[in-house]
């Protein structure tokens, strides 16, 4: 659902920049880092998105097409942000907006990025509570320590607060490989359980599953395509592919072409490879989870697997370890966004009372995580309200604004006019998906 919702959406570079000089990355290194930045907890809600479309296996084909289109448009939005950065000479999402669109409305992307970071932390807390409570279920421990809310509270006070209070998060960067391996294991696990039929009728684990798999008879391709649930899937995809707040950082760290000294073509290659690779991983988890449980897919697909499933236990342990090490980095993003909006007064408070600042933010995140139960709804609502703006609308507006202000040349020729048409199309597309997605999620 953040790397979301969210996903492990903030990579180790944010921690390293606190103590080290930025090192330029090759195309391969940048692509790997981008995949790590995109692929995360957000993919765990995708089967729920397909289930919102239809309970029929026929929903798989249109869902795969939507995933491909979402990857393409997300990559294009990522490239547009880089173009806006180069046109304005700025290196943050908010500053690029202020210089290319409007200084008076710069709070709009700032608030969107703040809300995205907050929802990322909330989603992480929800996943930790769900997964650890299921891991503890076979032990028959008292609810006071093994219930979902108790786990969230204990993890926040005993584990997350000390980690988020560290003066430097650089030591956590070494655990980035752990997150990558955990995501690949979860992907392989979901596909394996789909293929071995353990949760099908007569399967060895179906009786122990929280909800029996349910599928509907085929209803026709047109009925599937016209399902209002498509907006839910698109919203979750917007959250899953959301890494655009880091586009300026990736551009800054990408090594230029040694022949031309420019980065634009290299950045396009990184964006296409990164988002397409992430789309492939998302497709495997999405299809594998849905074809295993059908309309019974929960907002967090790992909740569908039996507590006695040993491979599911390892999958939950993997995501817990990954999220625990990634949480402080996502929290750092939240803290930065809060301080950017509060200005000098907020910075003074954070410097004078850093622990109070950390406790206040964690308390707010934890309180919301207590109340919210369905990660799929959170991911879909976040994607509809924030993801569509940050991925589709804002990048197009920033590039067109830079062109209008003369910061970059107007598009010329057939290719330039096509690019202009796509940019114009992205604005109503993002706004429309956002409105429809929010309405559908709140029903």
- What's the pLDDT tens digit per position in 171-228? 776 777 787 888 899 999 999 999 999 999 889 999 999 999 999 877 666 677 678 8
Name the residue range of residue 56's domain: 13-442
CA distances from residue 188 to 45, 178, 194, 256, 382 in whole angstroms, order as listed: 16, 15, 10, 36, 27
Distance from the Cα of residue 308 to its chain's centroid? 29
pLDDT of 20 higher than 50: no
The enclosing domain of 355 has a CATH number of 1.20.1740
Higher-confidence residue: 362 or 232? 362
Q: Residue 394: inside a domain, yes or no? A: yes
Q: Residue 258: inside a domain, yes or no? A: yes
Structure confidence at residue 173 (pLDDT): 66
Structure confidence at residue 169 (pLDDT): 67
Structure confidence at residue 222 (pLDDT): 66
pLDDT of 48 higher than 70: yes
Structure confidence at residue 6 (pLDDT): 43
Of 81-95, 101-115, 210-224, 264-278, least confident by mean pLDDT is 210-224
- Give me the chain's average pLDDT, please: 87
In percent, how much of the chain has pLDDT > 70?
A: 92
- What's the pLDDT tens digit per position in 376-401? 888 888 888 888 999 999 999 999 99
Mean pLDDT value across residues 132-142 = 90
Q: Residue 422: inside a domain, yes or no? A: yes
Structure confidence at residue 160 (pLDDT): 95
pLDDT of 8 higher than 50: no
Q: Residue 6: inside a domain, yes or no? A: no
Q: Residue 4: inside a domain, yes or no? A: no
Structure confidence at residue 353 (pLDDT): 86
In percent, how much of the chain has pLDDT > 90?
A: 51
Mean pLDDT value across residues 111-140 = 91
Pairwise CA distance, residues 227 & 237, whole Å:
16
Structure confidence at residue 17 (pLDDT): 44
What is the token pair recorded at 17?
């920049």
- What's the pLDDT tens digit per position in 278-316? 999 999 999 999 999 999 999 999 999 999 999 999 999
The structural domain count of the chain equals: 1
Q: Residue 159: inside a domain, yes or no? A: yes
Higher-confidence residue: 6 or 413? 413
Pairwise CA distance, residues 168 & 171, whole Å:
7
Of 18-27, 78-87, 350-359, 396-405, least confident by mean pLDDT is 18-27
Q: Residue 7: inside a domain, yes or no? A: no
Mean pLDDT value across residues 102-121 = 89
Burial environment of residue 65 by CB neighbours within 10 A (0 to 12, 13 to 18, 19 or more): exposed
Higher-confidence residue: 376 or 155? 155
Q: Residue 350: inside a domain, yes or no? A: yes
């Amino acid at each position: 659902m953040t790397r979301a919702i969210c996903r492990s959406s903030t990579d180790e570079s944010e921690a390293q920049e606190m103590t080290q000089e930025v090192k330029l990355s090759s195309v391969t290194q940048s692509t790997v880092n981008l995949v790590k930045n995109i692929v995360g907890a957000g993919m765990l809600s995708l089967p729920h998105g397909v289930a919102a479309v239809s309970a029929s296996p026929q929903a798989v084909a249109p869902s795969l097409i939507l995933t491909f289109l979402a990857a393409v448009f997300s990559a294009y939005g990522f490239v547009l942000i880089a173009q806006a950065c180069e046109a304005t000479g700025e290196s943050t999402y908010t500053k690029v907006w202020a210089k290319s669109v409007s200084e008076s409305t710069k709070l709009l992307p700032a608030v969107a990025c703040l809300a995205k970071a907050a929802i990322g932390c909330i989603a992480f807390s929800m996943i930790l509570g769900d997964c650890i409570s299921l891991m503890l279920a076979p032990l028959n421990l008292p609810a006071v320590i093994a219930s979902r809310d108790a786990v969230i509270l204990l993890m926040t006070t005993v584990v997350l607060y000390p980690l988020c209070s560290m003066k430097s998060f650089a030591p956590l960067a070494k655990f980035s490989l752990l997150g990558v391996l955990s995501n690949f294991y979860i992907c392989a696990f979901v596909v394996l359980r789909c293929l071995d039929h353990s949760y099908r009728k007569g399967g060895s684990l179906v009786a122990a599953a929280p909800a029996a798999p349910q599928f509907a008879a085929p209803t026709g391709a047109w009925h599937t395509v016209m399902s209002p649930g498509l907006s839910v899937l698109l919203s979750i995809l917007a959250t899953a592919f959301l890494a655009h707040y880091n586009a300026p950082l990736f551009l800054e760290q990408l090594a230029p072409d040694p022949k031309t000294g420019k980065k634009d073509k290299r950045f396009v290659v990184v964006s296409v490879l990164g988002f397409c690779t992430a789309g492939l991983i998302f497709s495997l988890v999405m299809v594998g989870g849905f074809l295993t449980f059908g309309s019974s897919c929960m907002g967090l697909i790992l909740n569908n697997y039996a507590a006695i499933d040993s491979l599911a236990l390892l999958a939950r342990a993997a995501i817990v370890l990954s999220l625990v090490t990634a949480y402080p980095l996502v929290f750092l993003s939240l803290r930065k966004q809060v301080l950017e909006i509060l200005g000098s007064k907020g910075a003074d408070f954070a410097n004078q009372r850093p622990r109070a600042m950390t406790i206040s933010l964690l308390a707010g995140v934890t309180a919301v995580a207590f109340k919210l139960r369905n990660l799929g709804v959170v991911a879909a609502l976040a994607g509809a309200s924030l993801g569509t703006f940050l991925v589709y609308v804002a990048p197009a507006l920033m590039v067109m604004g830079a062109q209008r202000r003369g910061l970059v040349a107007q598009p010329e020729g057939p290719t330039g006019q096509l690019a202009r048409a796509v940019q114009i199309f992205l604005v109503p597309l993002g706004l429309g998906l956002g409105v429809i997605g929010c309405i559908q999620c709140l029903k």
